[in-house]
Amino acid sequence: MNPNLKKYITSLLVAICLLLLSGKQALAQFAEGYLYNLSNFTGVVPYSWATLSVDEWQNEVYVVYQNLVTVFNDNGMEVHSFGDSLDIGHILDVAVEENGDILLLAFNDTKSSVFRSNYRGEPREEITLQDLPPEFAEMHANRIAYREGNIYLASEAQMKIVIVDAQGRFIKGFDLIRIMGIPEKDRADAGFSGFNLDKNGNMLFTVPVLFTASILSPAGEIVSFGKPGGAPGKFNIVVGMVVDSQGNYLVADKLKCAIIVFDKDLNFIKEFGYRGEKPGNLVAPESLAIDSEDRLYVSQGRKRGVSVFKLTHG
């Protein structure tokens, strides 16, 4: 054999072995195990595509479904519910402040409003949004999040996000159509999903029609990743998105019925879930939430409720 060819083949084999080894190491550093489904005293609660939020201080999960907000403890059992009176309108989403107060995002008549309630969900005050620029004044938010004294409001349909302080005063706004370079004529057909925050206030979301997941910094810098396809690591219809304690990004793919995992450098690690009837299987996963103990909450369709997985590293 030609010495140069032999040297080339040897180098190629070494490179392949190193690549396979790095892949095995990544898999060894991330694992998931199914724990249970959120339940009450009658058994598993049969939600279909409920909206999820986590109280990171108490590790309780809030489920919004058909205007009812239900609180589950860190063992997956229901402990409290509220919101069925419709006094403040139709509750769309919730977030929790450090002191246990609950921020309620509700839709009433033609606008969305934010209320601060006590830990039992009893509204105490409406937070009036102030000093919004004209391009955000008519925003109809459907998602809310909280981080270090600031309230984040997102309109997934309008592709806009606003940050206000605890009293509702405008801090900053983001028009994702402009940031992502999407033509204005496509605004109505775009939309994003799975709005969440990481511990640094970076905004996480997916754009299903673009087959992408994105990370938007508070400074307005954006990183997007993902490619369409059916192979492992590729996107079909991506929706929910969260990040775990090690910086791994988890993206729910509704069509694949799987959770797709990427490391902090956006390298694909693995997929798990997949359609089936076993407890650890998933059916059309949508909303995701994660607590400080790396318990992953996955909202599903077809009355499969909310499945809970424990993530482990190393």
pTM above 0.95, yes or no: no
How many other β-carbons are positioned within 10 Å of the β-carbon of residue 288? 21
Alpha-carbon distance of 42 to 10, in angstroms, equals 62
Distances (CA, A) of 26 to 31, 259, 263, 266: 10, 16, 8, 12
Would you state the pLDDT for residue 140? Answer: 94
33: which 2 tokens? 């195990």
Average pLDDT over residues 199-218: 97
Would you state the pLDDT for residue 29? Answer: 83
Mean pLDDT computed over every residue of the chain: 91
* Domain count of the fold of the chain: 1
Who's near 25: CB < 8 A, 6+ residues apart? none
10 Å CB burial of residue 20 (0-12, 13-18, 19+) is: exposed
Q: Is residue 15 predicted with pLDDT exceeding 50?
A: no
Position 263 confidence tier, pLDDT thresholds 50, 70, 90: very high
136: which 2 tokens? 């955000």
Position 109 confidence tier, pLDDT thresholds 50, 70, 90: confident
Q: Which residue type, as a one-letter code, is found at position 219? A: A
Alpha-carbon distance of 236 to 208, in angstroms, equals 8
Determine which helix (DSSP H) or strand (DSSP E) holds 259, and give its type and residue range: strand 258-262
235, 227 Cβ separation under 8 angstroms: yes
Alpha-carbon distance of 38 to 70, in angstroms, equals 10
Position 28 confidence tier, pLDDT thresholds 50, 70, 90: low
Average pLDDT over residues 245-250: 97
Q: Is residue 14 predicted with pLDDT exceeding 70?
A: no
Higher pLDDT, 13 or 132: 132
Q: Are strands 288-290 and 212-216 parallel, antiparallel or unpaired?
A: unpaired
205, 216 Cβ separation under 8 angstroms: yes
Range of the domain at 97: 32-312
Q: What is the domain-level CATH number for residue 271?
A: 2.120.10.30
Average pLDDT over residues 155-170: 97
Distances (CA, A) of 247 to 36, 38, 126: 24, 25, 35
Alpha-carbon distance of 7 to 30, in angstroms, equals 35
Residue 115 located in a structural domain: yes
Residue 45 located in a structural domain: yes
Phi/psi of residue 251, nearest 5 degrees = -125, 130
Would you state the pLDDT for residue 57? Answer: 93
Residue 12 located in a structural domain: no
Comparing CA positions, the residue from 248, 308, 312 lying closest to residue 282 is 308
Residue 15 located in a structural domain: no
Average pLDDT over residues 111-134: 94
DSSP string, 271-306: EEE-SSSSTT--SS---EEE-TT-EEEEE-STT--E
Q: Is residue 149 predicted with pLDDT exceeding 90?
A: yes
Position 3 confidence tier, pLDDT thresholds 50, 70, 90: low
Position 11 confidence tier, pLDDT thresholds 50, 70, 90: low
Position 12 confidence tier, pLDDT thresholds 50, 70, 90: very low
Residue 213 located in a structural domain: yes
> Could you report how far apart the first and last alpha carbons of the chain are, in Å?
43
160, 182 Cβ separation under 8 angstroms: no
Alpha-carbon distance of 273 to 32, in angstroms, equals 10
Residue 11 located in a structural domain: no
Residue 22 located in a structural domain: no
Mind listing the pLDDT tens digit for each residue in 62-72? 999 998 999 99
Average pLDDT over residues 160-174: 97
Residue 165 located in a structural domain: yes
91, 69 Cβ separation under 8 angstroms: yes
Q: Is residue 20 predicted with pLDDT exceeding 90?
A: no
